[in-house]
Amino acid sequence: MRGLRLAFGLVVVLLTASASEAQSLYVFGGAGLTWRKTGWQQQSADDLPPERKPVPTLAVGGGWWITPRLAIDGSVEFQRRQTLSWRYTYFDNNYFSSTDRDTLILGHVRIVAARGDRVALEALVGGGLTWHGTESFVLQDCNTNFPPTCVTPDPPTKADTYGTWEWVFSTGVDVPIRLSDHVTLAPTVRLRYADRRPYLTATDHRGPASGPGFMPSIGLTLRWTAR
């Protein structure tokens, strides 16, 4: 109970901080690279799961400084798609190409851990949701004869679109460098964990595997603060 009272008291202090303590709106945008894994379908006993590969990422967001050292913010992050080629053999014999990407909607608590004249260190912790979307295209449509005969659509035929909302945990560090009274430039480091479903497409276990995993990233963000 004592711990709950202390936590409640801290929340009250933070939320009732006066405007003189530099409460302020801020907005930001940036770009970077996120290391993530695409789906995977094992082709042989020697076939190993894919390693993480970097994909370009864009982020936009905004927040509110509750006190000079504590803020809450939200952001939307767009990742470039990754591509996987795979084979579907359940009562059929087709070769597919699937693209998948994450679009993250996140909220963070931002804490200023250290601050100098022009450079600060900020820690972030939070989470949210990701829309894990997949599009699949037929590369070759083959029959089940032996040997099979195949038709290659040109261009590839769109097969289906599939997506799921998944939970994400997010943490990271920003190092904002003050360029002016209202503008900072911040190198960023993030680590996300997405609780993805086991399979990449609606074919479930007959298609590529996916599953939960970490997505580390680095980037550069430009931030404008109202005051």
- pLDDT for 169 equals 98
**Are residues 88 and 96 in contact, defined by beta-carbon separation less than 8 angstroms?**
yes
| pTM of the full structure | 0.82
CATH number at 30-40+51-221:
2.40.160.20
pLDDT at 2: 53
Stretches in the chain below the pLDDT threshold 70: 1-22
pLDDT value of position 213: 92
Residue 110 and residue 226: Cα distance in Å, rounded? 17
Q: Residue 90, class by beta-carbon neighbours within 10 Å (0-12 exposed, 13-18 middle, 19+ buried)?
A: exposed
Rounded CA-CA distance 216/108 in Å is: 16
pLDDT, tens digit (0-9, with 9 covering 90-100), for 126-170: 999 999 999 999 999 888 888 888 888 888 888 889 999 999 999
**Helix/strand/coil (H, E, C) string of 91-112?**
CCEEEEEEEEEEEEEEEEEEEE
Q: What is the pLDDT of residue 13?
A: 46
Helix, strand or coil, per DSSP, at residue 61: strand
Task: Note the pLDDT of residue 20.
Answer: 44
Structure tokens at 49: 């799961």
**Identity (one letter) of the amino acid at 222?**
L
The ranges assigned to domains in the chain are 30-40+51-221
Q: What is the CA radius of gyration of the chain?
A: 23
Give the residue from 211, 213, 173 showing the smallest Cα distance to 192: 213
Residue type, 72: I
- The reported pLDDT for the residue numbered 180 is 95
What is the H or E stretch that residue 37 is in?
A: none
Name the token pair of 221.
């963000």
Residue 6's Cβ-count burial label (10 Å; 0-12, 13-18, 19+) is exposed
Write the CB contacts of 82 (distance below 8 Å, at least 6 apart in sequence). Answer: 36, 38, 53, 55, 99, 100, 101
Contact, 42 vs 50, CB < 8 A? no
SS (H, E, C) 124-189: EEEEEEEEEEEEEEEEEEECCCCCCCEECCCCCEEEEEEEEEEEEEEEEEECCEECCCCEEEEEEE
Coil, strand or helix at 55: strand
